[in-house]
Structure 1
Amino acid sequence: MRVESLRVTPMTFDSAARAFLRDHGAESIEHPGGTLYSHLCRVEQRLAAVGAAPHVRLAGLTHAAYSTDGFDLALIVWTDRDLLRSVIGLEAEELVYLYGACDRDRTWPDLVTNSTVHDRFIGQERVLEPRHIGPFVDLSIVNELDVIEQNPALLVKHGDYFRDLFARWAPSTSPEVADEIQRLMGSRQ
């Protein structure tokens, strides 16, 4: 008897990622717009709508697995990276790690000019390859846009900050994500 090789597709990873999130309590964690699970699903859906690559969408779906600099509740510890890799694959997990490890105050303002992510988990800097900056920027923007859309008061309070930041990131932002910024935030008054 011949055993056919199992072909893993993004759909397989997507289903496994959603199960992983539910198994690790994301449906019971509060987040603007409902639960962390619903936020993560919206980020993935928005990334899909703007044509992001499958690994970027999977990273969007699981971007808070290790916590983030803006949401300090982890589904799993960041040192257990092999577990998430087994669920979403190496390329997506690397983006999730970068997103979770990113010290936003030290990284975001100059990210596009110096390509450096300050890792809050290990206290080191990492220079990104040019091909990794765009997906990181798009994921970061789409995440913030979802939070702002769910809590419009944040746009009033922090709109100028994000408009300035997103303008700095414009050279690395995909045109589709730039359109989303314009649609949800408009231009500076």
Structure 2
Amino acid sequence: MSDRAVAWLRELGAQDLAHPGGTLLAHLERVREQLASWGARPALQRAGLCHAFYGTDGFPAALLPLDRRAGLAEVIGDEAEAIVYLYAACDRAASYPTFACEEAVFRDRFTGRVHSPAMELRRDFAELSAANELDLARVDPALRQAWGGELLALFGRFRGLLSEPAWRECQAVLGG
């Protein structure tokens, strides 16, 4: 499945889109590798590889319109696509403050819908967020300098949602 996803990313030009540390494709592959190193299940790794398909609140360039979600699900599986959608749909300003709370308030930036995602989806979101931000912090020292403390505080609030390897990596990369 991952090979098909990489082939599709190439067809859509991810290897030509500039992104910190090189290209969007290189970033997506590093995020997948980071998740794998933490022992993430295959569906979460595939979501990491494809997390920017619909754009995100922090990276608006979408590779695929939302009306083609079924196509992405066919390539990476329904579970992985649901994680990709949640990640892309997150209105960070509205969702981050309560995301780790029992009754999380999640605002979908595409639909405006407010809901509380299932705990497993929130764990996946937190783990993917950590892998994404840690990659950016590693490849861009200026970003790490400017935002490292804020990111460490965010992941400290997400602590109950993160795996132990992800939390240790957050501390190692952002704490120094």
TM-score (norm 2): 0.96
- SS of match in other structure, 1:180: helix
Is the CA contact 1:98–1:117 (under 8 Å) kept in the aligned structure 2? no
State which of 44, 47, 60 in structure 2 corresponds to 1:56.
44
Larger radius of gyration: 1
Structure 2 Cα separation of the partners of residues 174 and 115 of structure 1: 19
Partner of 2:134: 145
**Matching of residues 89-128 of structure 1 within 5 Å:** 89-113=77-101, 114-128=103-117
Structure 1 Cα separation of the partners of residues 59 and 120 of structure 2: 26
Unaligned runs of 5+ residues in structure 2 are none
- SS of match in other structure, 2:114: strand
Aligned-residue offset at 1:126: 2.5
- SS of match in other structure, 1:112: coil
Structure 2 Cα separation of the partners of residues 122 and 47 of structure 1: 28
- State yes or no: 1:130 paired with 2:99: no
Unaligned runs of 5+ residues in structure 1 are 1-12
Structure 2 Cα separation of the partners of residues 182 and 168 of structure 1: 13
Structure 1 Cα separation of the partners of residues 27 and 75 of structure 2: 19
- State yes or no: 1:182 paired with 2:171: yes
Aligned-residue offset at 1:159: 1.8
TM-score (norm 1): 0.90
Structure 1 Cα separation of the partners of residues 141 and 97 of structure 2: 23
Aligned residues: 175
One-letter code aligned to 1:154: L
One-letter code aligned to 1:166: F
| CA RMSD after TM alignment | 1.0
Aligned-residue offset at 1:131: 1.9
Structure 2 Cα separation of the partners of residues 64 and 124 of structure 1: 20
